[in-house]
Structure 1
Amino acid sequence: MRGLRGHIIAASLALACASGTALAEPDPGAAAREAVAQLEAASVALAQAKGGRDRVKSLTGVVQAYETGLTALRAGLRRAAIREAQLSKQLKAQEAEIARLLGVLQSMGKGPPEVILVHPGGPMGTARSGMILADVTPALEKSAADLRRDLEEVTILRSLQEGAAETLQGGLEGAQDARTELSKAIADRTDLPKRFIEDPVQTALMIASTETLEGFASALVDLQVDGMQEIDLPDVMDRKGNLRLPVEASVLRRAGEADAAGIRRPGLVLATRPSALVVTPSAATIRFRGPLLDYGNVMILEPQPGVLFVLGGLAQVYGDAGEVIPEGAPIGLMGGNGLESGAILSQSGDASGNARSETLYIEVREGKAPVDPELWFQTNEDG
């Protein structure tokens, strides 16, 4: 009886200690389930936005909702995969204790009551054994409940990951549909005010005579455009230091940091996801859009005279030079075809951030001089 009692206590304590660690963990599947709900809501919003009055604004919100939902789902699946692996490892490590406990309980269940209750020490020993078993029983019940909960959680997390492929693929297709609809809506847009009409010959001559981005931006500041209208825009200087980045991203290189070739630039290099939507951080006039030097497609925005936001590296740009666009308006898309659902799932078990394969360059110029973009933009968020 003494050996049986010792086995019960040891096994129950081992299981209780191991299970106690899991109790402090938050539900890792909650974020993934919330992300699925976000993607479903985005799908509904896409159907509504196609026939809405302000289609550009509505579809911009839908694209951003899809991007947020896909990012959240990937993060949720990563946490779920990590948690499932931890639980599986934990349960495997407890196999000996679980088998030991089951063996003890099975032995107790097979023995006749009179044998279990009679103790060699007589009535006092029997009484003590009864009290010990009464003390141990709640711990056994708690251990069994914790074990059952962990097994159920493993089942739920595995089911969540197995069903994620279809959800991810649907989200990726929905996001692409929203981007296509957005491009069409922008092409059909006719309600934007215009400060000037671009002279394509003049622009082409400027590009041909430019060897650096700095030279082009300086020439743009000096450029006298015939018939340029004055349009009042909110004073962007009041928001200096508080502007949001134009795309969901993380900082790859800060101003003045050398790249792999040892080249230092005065702007920020941001790592973004493929096909990410880029929006204007404030109301602004489009001063230039198109290919420039080795920066890919470039968008130069003028939120107010003497201030330029230069964004380079876009695969697609929206709008025309001279248009005045409101804050949050889409100005382009990053490159890449977007990740396939299988690729996202294969990365869900790590946090390497390899999905951010595109780069956007941001430069801010006050007058003709570049300034650190972090004096203007908030970059302390984990993109």
Structure 2
Amino acid sequence: MSSSSIKTPNVITCRAAVGYGAGEALVIEEVEVSPPQPMEIRIKVVFTSLCRSDITAWSQAPIFPRIFGHEASGIVESVGEGVTEFEEGDHVLTLFTGECMTCRHCTSGKSNMCQVLGLERKGVMHSDQKTRFSIKGKPIYHYCAVSSFSEYTVVHSGCALKVSSLAPLDKICLLSCGVSAGLGAAWKVANITEGSTVVIFGLGTVGLSVAQGAKQRGASRIIGVDINSEKIEKARAFGITEFVNPHDCNEPVQQVIKQMTDGGADYSFECIGDTGMVTTALQSCCDGWGLTVTLGVPKVNPEISSHYALFLSGRTLRGSLFGGWRPKSDLHSLVDMYMRKEIQIDEFITHNLPFEDINKAFDLMIEGKCLRCVIHMPT
């Protein structure tokens, strides 16, 4: 093929939901999306779901204007120089944390904390510290290296996963974050054993995914803790065997859990994003081998404070980012499991909304009326 016949991507004008300030309603605007630069791909977003992390960032992020969204699926529209893994028309999942395959962490086999494509916090691309979005020449910042609340987005090729065209994009988009995070916390981080007792604080998508993973590992008791008692029936479908509402307790919930479990659970999971609850989860574990895994992103007070005796007695606290999955190396297995009907995804989707109703999706999650809203982007 001659160089003159190679297709050169142009700037695309499309619609995106832009956040202009903390807690302010998103505004659907016409934005310009630059062509992908070396080792980047431009994606036509087909479906994106709303994650609690989007809400947290939107309510307090210091960087605006910004396009949020990170849990998404789409189709590759164009590729940048040097990209050999993807081509136009490929179906992909977006990845909020990438995998370069060459750094110390990626080659260790012990970590998914890529030193090159790890969590992006500055609102710009990893490669050149610039944005690919703009409105009339003014930059619009990225979120979590994805920014899926846009008809088109640009990501580093290490922040996308090619998937089978047979996999339904409106369902597997949930594997971009929440469902995978919960399953991985149960299987990879905690490595739950058969017959064990598990307590889960927070029964959103992540917490219920932990429950699903614990059930598959043969946990004997899976205790769900949440202040919303309306979640009981939904929770049972994912494996929750008992439910505790702290508001209904006459003593601290950790004492209730210890009484229920003869001294504490084998495993506890903090899926709320409350550092105070991390201590509560630790106190709900048993001496000797109790393991607490924290998955939530705190909205305030990011520091954890716990008495040293909790650890001296043998308890362990572990953090979990994306369930410990190496996103490009491991996530294929979850897509395959879903296609074989071995894991539940569809049941997490409580609402399907058009892009124009994205602020309604925010309202539903803030009000605790949904697990996952899948947002259909215009075709």
Bin the TM-score by the shorter chain: under 0.3
TM-score w.r.t. the length of structure 1 is: 0.23
Q: Which structure is larger by alpha-carbon Rg, 1 or 2?
A: 1
TM-score w.r.t. the length of structure 2 is: 0.23
Which structure shows the higher helix fraction?
1
Q: Which has the higher contact order (CA 8 A, sep 6+)?
A: 1
